[in-house]
Amino acid sequence: MMIQAATHRKAPPPISGVAFLPPHLQLDVITPMLGDLETATSGGRRYVMGKLLAQLGEAASVAEPGLTDPRRRTIRSTLALLAREAERLLPDAEAFARGTRLITSALTHV
């Protein structure tokens, strides 16, 4: 019997763990995590950014049916910008926080 090496698989997306919370409480979790970006190392920033992206994506998915088309496009494009920022070797915490605040503001005014 021959044993085959495992093929390279892409890691699954991060799971936020707050999907069971109502949408407004999901957003309440995001603001305190933004403070962690200020003091975290580069690797820590990327980790926190990944968690925030997962939570923002879940909150946006829940709110999507009630969003206008322009607001939906703005949120999607901002999420894409945040994902690119999180993938950078030295992510900019302030730019990420600005985008996160933009999305949370758009989602709370649904």
Q: Provide the 8-state DSSP code for 65.
A: G
The number of folded domains in the chain is 1
Q: What is the pLDDT of residues 91-104, one digit of tens each?
A: 999 999 999 999 99
pLDDT at 4 over 80: no
**Domain-located, residue 7:** no
**Domain-located, residue 93:** yes
How far is it, in rounded angstroms, from Cα 58 to Cα 25?
12
Q: What is the pLDDT of residues 36-84, one digit of tens each?
A: 888 888 888 999 999 999 999 999 998 889 899 999 999 999 999 999 9
Enclosing domain of residue 64: 23-108
100 within 8 A of 56, measured Cβ to Cβ: yes
How far is it, in rounded angstroms, from Cα 80 to Cα 108?
20
51: left (phi over 0), alpha (psi -120 to 50) or beta: alpha
How far is it, in rounded angstroms, from Cα 78 to Cα 90?
19
Q: Provide the 8-state DSSP code for 10.
A: P
**Domain-located, residue 40:** yes
Task: Confirm whether pTM is higher than 0.85.
Answer: no
**Domain-located, residue 70:** yes
Which of 16-20, 30-34, 39-43, 100-104 is predicted least confidently?
16-20
Q: Enumerate residues 6+ apart whose C-beta is below 8 A from 101.
A: 34
